[in-house]
Structure 1
Amino acid sequence: MKAAAKKEIRLNAFDINAAMHNAHGLWKHPENERYRYKDLRYWVELAQLLERGKFDALFLADVFGFYDVFRGTRDAALKDAIQVPINDPSLLIPTMAYATKHLGFAVTVPTTYEHPYAHARRMTTLDHLTNGRIGWNVVTSFLPSAARNFGMQEMIPHDERYDIADEYMEVVYKLWEGSWEDDAVIRDAARGIYTDPGKVHEIKHEGRHYRVPGPHLSEPSPQRTPVLYQAGASGRGRAFAAKHAECVFIDGHSFESMKFYTDDIRAQAAAYGRRPDDVKVFMALSTVVGRTEAEAREKFEELTRLSSEEGPQAIYGGYTGIDLSKGAPDDILGYRRTDHGQTVMARFTTMAEKTYTYGEVVEQVKRIGGRAVVLTGSAEQVADQMQEWVEKTGIDGFNLGHLVTPSSLKDVVDLVIPILQERGVYKTEYAPGTMREKLFGEGASRLPDRHPAAGYRY
């Protein structure tokens, strides 16, 4: 009997165009180069490192506000560089793309604050400039400070944000998929026609939230619609992902919860007429890798000594709306429905295996790696654990954070990936083509006919 083929593990690097991401307090580490985030050379070096490691993509997070729920101020976030200061991630991509050949780029842009007409043009531009290596992480945004800075008195309620996002997707699908025919641009010098006007169409969208007559301003790019990522594991978020997403990013806490989310999203995708394997699932992960288990343990202990006390509580407050400073250490943290991140709220309440006190939650969020799973050990041990997560949960790979930049990623590229390649579970060469083709196969540059966007094609 022929043995089943081993599943290929895929890797994205998880980053943000800011002084620090999710490694709270570790900006103080002497080897950390995060302070260089304002330097294009830093990003070029990172992109080239990831391409050397055959990563699928650099996944760029973003936020539009301050983490100011903790103690009612932004002080803790500023003191510990909790995703501030921060710059626009999309502006980094063309330079990194120019310096690489295969690496994809997934950029986070919220549907709550970005108008779909301008956003559609920006993403088409990036898809052109990267030659089809752009993805969009679709989020709805969750910080009250962001809402205020965009002229709102308070955040839009959680489920209403997804209702807006559904219409947003309809608008951009019409612009990307239906507005320009493939052969609209003919550049016919003899007849003096650059673009055939009869092949450029208004979309005539009139909905509850948007009125966009069109047409799209940009000619079709290699992928038309960027590869669609989504990060959100609430019930509403999973339904949204099942309908739209090609790649889903989820925080994993246990084999059981990760398998539940993965199976549920794929089952819902099939109910929409898609195939379960139309959705790739990536789990948040951090690693502490040593040449020996003892060396890794020493590294982990060093990182723990540098960890922050208040910074993680600030980011937890932003994700959940819960100010951990307002509870006594022995008080029980109960579930509260908020308009922030519902899954993070449920992590230590309705989804927890036990009852947590405020003090216990503080200790949990202070752990190195924050909400993400952290694999610690020798390169062999980390490779073993990565394979175990894939085999037990059905995920496709990992969104890999880096605790110390760039050494955490270098350890994975130089020590772990060669082991995975030897085991036949990690690619040794990139597949040709666009970002979507690299993920789903040759000839798959455009969304498949079974995706809901296909219904808006001209």
Structure 2
Amino acid sequence: MTNSSTSNTPKKILLNAFDMNSVGHINHGLWTHPRDESHRFNELSYWTDLAQTLEKGLFDGLFIADITGVYDVYQNGIDLTLKESIQLPSHDPTTLVSAMAAVTQNLGFGITVNLSYESPYQFARRFASLDHLTQGRIGWNIVTGYLDSAERLIGQKGLKDHDLRYAQAEEFLELCYKFWEGSWENDAVLKDKKQRIFTDPSKVHQVQHQGQFYQSQGVFQVSPSSQRTPVLFQAGASPRGLTFATQHAEGLFIGGDRPEKIKQQVDQIRNQATAQGRNAEAVKIFVGITVVTAETDELAQQKLDEYIRYASPEAGLAHFSSSVGMDLSQFADNETIPYQQTNSIASVNNKFKEQSISKNDLKAQHVLGGRYPLIVGSGATVAEKLIQLMDDTGIDGFNLTRTVAPESHHDFIQWVIPQLQQRGRYKTAYENGSLRHKLFQQGDRLSASHPVQQFRCQSTASTSNSNLNQKQSA
């Protein structure tokens, strides 16, 4: 494995803005700050302005989180969730993409969609359509869900077992691969006006799928887009989740507060990817961070002190309660929180097994209402810390959360980006091509070493036969 500490040419940092189509996302309570505009999340201009800002900063992508359901575990209700707007209300993130793509040329869009509540066909069609409209700038963050409130909303009886959710995810993804890669050949669309052949019928194939969770028969309605399969992101850190991610994902999001713990995760991910027959560097690994920056270290600290006056650590606890499936309000501030096995986010919940953690510990960690590592300082200080973290751990980049919106992104672009560029650790211009090519410099399509290869249709000789080829795709 090669990382920036051993390579002659240090890796450049990849950077996504991490956001959500809601008011409160990760850092809760800051919606009350006088300069915060996140209450405008339901206005299109809020998002088109953000997209243009991020492109100005040469961000690789805007990564938009999403949940189905509400956070109702803390205090057994949603009163605090509603008062503090803890991802409620939240709107569908896919509705934002076309508008943001229309005002940008290079910014990628990673969209979270919970496959547990989707039809594979309708989902695959929607994302293939978006890949066309963005000219290959779409990514999908694959999630299986963890909220019992979502199950009740959808009309199901309860959350499926953690590992069963991943078995369903495997089949969902397999069927999507068949739609995206196995129905239309690359040169099926001719657009030949003289011969009146828009699509060569011999190059379009039916998908046949009979599985444990899904059945499908027919032709995919969308012709091949630039990437065919969107860039695949995943955040599973449980043993089952990591097996799934290292087999399929191209981008992986991990948590981590200590560099040695992050490096341990990175090494495990790269080793597992290799064991699955993939290149160790075929997975780009991102860590979520929060940054407060200004012209000097002192001014950045003053800004943090100001932000803290508006943040809500308790709202952070309410969010965390749903992440671990345990009502944390039942414990005293100094009481050690016991580990309880739940069907929620296994990797987060396991921290109670590994460490002695109290509510006061969590509140200290949630000083800005969110649990991501907090980096504070001048642009130079932040740049050095990001580079150090990257070099010490072997990660590829960061998911940057917002604090006060849109101020925090403007600050990062003004103070941190130039410092990273001066150190040769951040691009000064975008590469041409799709989101996948920008991330990997290896073309628009998934590589032949990816599991998608077994579902790709093979090219056939052209024919004028007007009857649809009934050949079954792989």
TM bracket (short chain):
over 0.9
**How far apart, in 1, do the equivalents of 2:139 and 2:249 lie?**
11
Q: Which amino acid aligns with 2:428?
A: T
**How far apart, in 2, do the equivalents of 1:453 and 1:214 lie?**
19
> Does residue 413 of the first structure (1) align with residue 413 of the second (2)?
yes
> Does residue 16 of the first structure (1) align with residue 20 of the second (2)?
yes
Q: Assess if the C-alpha contact under 8 Å between 1:312 and 1:365 holds in 2.
A: no
Q: Any idea what SS the aligned residue of 2:432 has?
A: coil
Structure 1 residue 361: Cα displacement: 4.2
Residue of structure 1 aligned with 2:228, choices 224, 240, 244: 224
Q: Any idea what SS the aligned residue of 1:204 has?
A: strand
Q: Which amino acid aligns with 1:383?
A: A
Query: After superposition, where does 1:34-45 map in structure 2 within 5 Å?
Result: 34-45=38-49
Q: Which amino acid aligns with 1:24?
A: H
Q: Assess if the C-alpha contact under 8 Å between 1:67 and 1:74 holds in 2.
A: yes
The residue number in structure 1 matching 2:353 is 350
The residue number in structure 2 matching 1:117 is 121
Residue of structure 2 aligned with 1:133, choices 128, 133, 137: 137
Q: Any idea what SS the aligned residue of 2:285 has?
A: strand
**How far apart, in 2, do the equivalents of 1:434 and 1:3 lie?**
26
**How far apart, in 1, do the equivalents of 2:369 and 2:9 lie?**
32
Structure 1 residue 92: Cα displacement: 0.5
**How far apart, in 1, do the equivalents of 2:338 and 2:248 lie?**
32
Cα deviation 1:274-295 (Å, max 9, x = unaligned): 1011000010011010211111
**How far apart, in 2, do the equivalents of 1:457 and 1:50 lie?**
35
Q: Any idea what SS the aligned residue of 1:350 has?
A: helix
Distance change >3 Å, CA 389–CA 429, structure 1 → 2: same
Count matched residues: 452
The residue number in structure 2 matching 1:190 is 194
Q: Any idea what SS the aligned residue of 1:165 has?
A: helix
Structure 1 residue 331: Cα displacement: 3.0
Structure 1 residue 329: Cα displacement: 3.0
Q: Any idea what SS the aligned residue of 1:385 has?
A: helix
Q: Assess if the C-alpha contact under 8 Å between 2:287 and 2:395 holds in 1.
A: yes
The residue number in structure 1 matching 2:241 is 237
Structure 1 residue 420: Cα displacement: 0.6
The residue number in structure 1 matching 2:377 is 377
The TM-score normalised by the length of structure 2 is 0.93
**How far apart, in 2, do the equivalents of 1:30 and 1:128 lie?**
39
**How far apart, in 1, do the equivalents of 2:44 and 2:371 lie?**
29
Q: Which amino acid aligns with 1:422?
A: Q
The residue number in structure 2 matching 1:47 is 51
Q: Identify unmatched segments of 5+ residues in structure 1.
A: none
Kindly report the root-mean-square deviation, in angstroms, between the aligned alpha carbons of the 2 structures.
1.4
Query: After superposition, where does 1:28-427 map in structure 2 within 5 Å?
Result: 28-347=32-351, 349-352=352-355, 355-357=356-358, 359-368=359-368, 370-427=370-427
Structure 1 residue 145: Cα displacement: 0.7
The TM-score normalised by the length of structure 1 is 0.96
Structure 1 residue 365: Cα displacement: 4.9
Q: Which amino acid aligns with 1:23?
A: N
**How far apart, in 1, do the equivalents of 2:364 and 2:147 lie?**
22
Structure 1 residue 32: Cα displacement: 0.5
**How far apart, in 2, do the equivalents of 1:37 and 1:198 lie?**
46
Cα deviation 1:204-226 (Å, max 9, x = unaligned): 11110000113211000000000
Q: Which amino acid aligns with 1:454?
A: Q
Q: Assess if the C-alpha contact under 8 Å between 2:209 and 2:215 holds in 1.
A: yes
Structure 1 residue 3: Cα displacement: 7.8
The residue number in structure 1 matching 2:448 is 449
Structure 1 residue 141: Cα displacement: 1.0
Q: Assess if the C-alpha contact under 8 Å between 2:313 and 2:370 holds in 1.
A: no
Q: Percent identity?
A: 44
Q: Which amino acid aligns with 2:384?
A: D
Q: Any idea what SS the aligned residue of 2:281 has?
A: helix
> Does residue 438 of the first structure (1) align with residue 442 of the second (2)?
no
Structure 1 residue 45: Cα displacement: 0.7
**How far apart, in 2, do the equivalents of 1:431 and 1:337 lie?**
45
Q: Any idea what SS the aligned residue of 2:375 has?
A: strand
